[in-house]
């Protein structure tokens, strides 16, 4: 009887320790997953800035084209004024040589018309000039904004690079811990862990019982099964998703880090069995 009891205790301790290591491994691997996920999102911020810059550049180009077009039109109007002035000069000379009043009147009307044309051209030039000034002002401001954005981008790119480098360090550190822990777990269990983890979308192979349910698939776990899980005597998978279930306080009896698993097998189990008896 005593021998049998001792043997069970030993197995229980080993199983608990195995479950603890599995759970620790899961926590570290999840941490790695999280960092990798964050790293994956970071370049999006840079992408957003790049898109914004492209948008600003297109806007600047449009404004530059508009301004160039307006300036061209101003030049055309100036040319037209010159032509009108030449005509007026010509007509004025002609007036000196008219034969009769009617001819004089007719030329006067032409001169009047050209004078009106000049007024109209000047008005247009004024309008275009105001438009050019307005657009130039916006253009200058946009250029400033663009420069700022470009500086932001360059800073962000540096930051991103730094973060990626830093993350890489974190990942390597965690990966080392993960590898160390993996060595403590027998290959059959470890392979099962890896297989479940690869199949699970959230990378969880070892989960706790939360509110009477599997924290992996949220299906309820029967009370008796919960007790079995709590006892840590066996590796118990979730009936629904196959993930390995552990008690959520499983790590509390032993500080999780850097402490060799103490094999002080009997104290707790003995107490339990005593109470049972």
Footprint on this chain of Zn ion (rule: CB under 5 A): 214, 216-217, 238, 240-241
- Residue 221: CB minimum distance to Zn ion, A: 8
Task: Please identify, using beta-carbon distances, which residue of 205 and 241 lies nearer to Zn ion.
Answer: 241
Q: Name the minimum Å distance from CB 198 to Zn ion.
A: 16
Closest CA to 54 of 166, 198, 191, 153: 153
The residue among 203 and 256 lying less far from Zn ion, judged by its C-beta, is 203
| Helix or strand (DSSP H, E) at 208 | strand 206-210
In this complex, which beta carbon is closest to Zn ion, that of residue 174 or of residue 244?
A: 244
| Cβ at position 240, least distance to Zn ion in Å | 5
Measure the CA–CA gap between 25 and 45, rounded to whole angstroms: 32
Question: Which residue number, 28 or 241, has a Cβ lying nearer to Zn ion?
Answer: 241
- CA 212 distance to own-chain centroid: 35
When the beta carbons of 46 and 217 are compared against Zn ion, the nearer one is 217
Tell me how far apart the alpha carbons of residues 17 and 264 are, in angstroms, rounded to a whole number: 11
Q: Where are the alpha helices (DSSP H) in the chain?
A: 2-96, 101-184, 187-199, 223-231, 266-276
Q: How far is the CB of 192 from Zn ion (least distance, A)?
A: 15
Tokens in use for 250?
């499983």
Distance CA 103, CA 249 (A): 114
The CB-of-35 to Zn ion minimum distance in angstroms stands at 25
Other C-beta atoms lying within 10 Å of the C-beta of residue 29 = 23
State the minimum distance, in angstroms, from the CB of residue 195 to Zn ion: 15
Q: Which residue has the tokens 């037209």?
A: 80
- 111 or 245, CB closer to Zn ion? 245
Closest by CA position to 70, among listed 132, 20, 161: 132
Report the nearest approach of Zn ion to the CB of residue 262 (Å).
31
Report the b/e string of 227-247 with b at 16+ CB within 10 A. eebeebbebbebeebbbbbbb
Looking at the Cβ atoms of 173 and 195, the one nearer to Zn ion is 195
Q: Sheet harboring 213-214: ordered strands across?
A: 213-214, 206-210, 244-246, 236-237
Task: Tell the smallest beta-carbon distance from residue 141 to Zn ion (Å).
Answer: 58
Residue closer to Zn ion (CB basis): 74 or 236: 236
Q: Tell me which DSSP letter residue 242 carries.
A: -
């Amino acid at each position: 009887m005593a021998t049998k009891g001792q043997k069970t205790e030993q197995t229980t301790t080993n199983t608990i320790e195995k479950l603890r290591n599995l759970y620790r491994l899961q926590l570290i691997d999840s941490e790695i997953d999280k960092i990798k996920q964050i790293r994956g999102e970071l370049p999006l911020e840079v992408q957003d800035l790049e898109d914004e810059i492209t948008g600003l550049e297109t806007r600047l180009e449009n404004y530059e084209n508009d301004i160039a077009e307006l300036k061209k039109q101003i030049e055309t109007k100036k040319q037209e004024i010159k032509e009108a002035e030449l005509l007026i000069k010509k007509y004025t000379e002609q007036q000196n040589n008219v034969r009769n009043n009617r001819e004089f009147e007719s030329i006067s009307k032409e001169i009047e018309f050209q004078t009106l044309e000049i007024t109209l051209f000047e008005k247009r030039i004024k309008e275009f000039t105001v438009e050019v000034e307005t657009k130039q002002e916006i253009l200058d401001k946009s250029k400033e904004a663009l420069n700022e954005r470009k500086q932001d981008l360059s800073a962000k790119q540096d930051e991103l690079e730094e973060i990626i480098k830093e993350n890489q360090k974190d990942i390597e550190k965690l990966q080392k811990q993960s590898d160390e822990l993996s060595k403590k777990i027998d290959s059959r269990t470890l392979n099962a862990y890896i297989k479940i983890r690869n199949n699970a979308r959230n990378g969880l192979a070892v989960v706790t019982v939360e509110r009477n349910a599997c924290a992996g698939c949220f299906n309820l776990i029967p009370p008796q099964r919960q007790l079995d899980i709590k006892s840590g005597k066996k590796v118990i998978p979730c009936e629904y998703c196959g993930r390995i279930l552990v008690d959520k306080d499983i790590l509390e009896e032993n500080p999780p880090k850097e402490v060799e698993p103490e094999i002080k097998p009997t104290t707790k189990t003995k107490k339990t069995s005593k109470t049972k008896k």
